[in-house]
Amino acid sequence: MTRVDTAEAGQSIGPDSPGTRVNRPDTAPGSREARVRRAVRAATRPGPWKRGPVFTALALLLGLFLLLHGHLTDRGGLGSLVESFLPWFGLLVPLLLAGALWRRSASAVVALLLPVVVWLNLFGGLLGDKSRPDSDLTVASHNVGADNPDPAGTARDLASSGADVLALEEITEQARGTYEKELAKTYPHHAVRGTVGLWSKLPLSDTRPVDIQQDVGPLAKTKPKDSTAAEGRALRSTVATDQGPLAVYVAHLGSVRVVPRTGFWTGSRDRNASALAQAIAAEPNKRAVLLGDLNGTMDDRAFDGLTAQLDSAQEKSGDGFGFSYPAKFPVARIDQILVRGLRPDSSWVLPATGSDHLPVAAGISW
């Protein structure tokens, strides 16, 4: 075999020759031109303050949304729907933080401070336990559920709760006798008006229905009085305590629904809330308690008339959010205990019964 020197054979070796690699002096890794190119690339590469603009924008939008949620239109019930689940929007913060760290975006991390601060300002007070050990009176409220398969068991559970005053909502005519029988030993005093009732260890007086405008429109006047009374969903009574008379209201406000054509429908609930707020404003007793299923959270603008007069026991003295509905996986507190002229000492959620709501309780003092 003969070895041929390509140079001697007249072949030239250059950058275009197959299988060969030639480093020009001006493009070698350590050359001046290579260093300049690396510097240009480094200078034009997005820095930590320029990375992740999408996550930065989303973080700012979330913060502004939480801050200005009260200005959101309520057309189609949008505002009420958002405010009903407002605390849950905080779950977007860790998701955005993960995205910001993935993109190594300093600007997105800083932008997340806005939603964090706003969320803590709105709900941070609910994260700790604010309860006090002693109270003068224990009150409880429970929507027992029209489809409750075990009203007797529910009544026994509530009787053992330790509540001095107990409010029940959504009492059916078929189950009323069961509740009255099972609760009679623990609560010698009780009153039922329509589908709501009040049971008490202390004497009751001046019990009467409260008009929350449940029936409105041209057909309302055609209903017989006994039919309207049977469908009543609010009452007011006076409880005789050692510290003096206490006005107690029990209410079950209208339901809310998602309607395909109109959105989140809250018409009857909002009307009931407004009428109830007017009734409590006219209450002469400075000390009052409102117990019931209000079908809404206290963040909902529909309850501004009530929250302007009453304090939420859960917000003032509870431990956590106190979600009460649905019982199997609570995501919102729509069962409320609100007070005026009293000090809430504690607030808690009772164990589940046969209802789709959880019972709620609170300790109050003068």
pLDDT of amino acid 11:
47
What pLDDT does residue 23 have? 52
Q: Using CA atoms, how far apart are residues 140 and 133, in angstroms rounded to an integer?
A: 17
Question: Which pLDDT tens digit goes with each residue over 124-133?
Answer: 999 999 999 8
Q: In the 8-state DSSP scheme, what is residue 99?
A: H
At 29 the pLDDT is 61
| Contact present, 143 and 169 (Cβ < 8 Å) | yes
Please, which residues have CB within 8 angstroms of residue 346's CB and are 6 or more apart in sequence? 131, 132, 133, 135, 313, 317, 318, 362, 363
pLDDT for position 9: 44
Strand pairing partners for 348? 361
| pLDDT number for residue 264 | 80
Q: Which residues of the chain have pLDDT under 50?
A: 1-4, 6-13, 15, 218-219, 222
The pLDDT score that the predictor gives to residue 7 is: 45
Q: What's 66's DSSP letter?
A: H
Residue type, 352: A
pLDDT on residue 24: 54
pLDDT attached to residue 284: 97
At residue 10, the pLDDT reads: 45
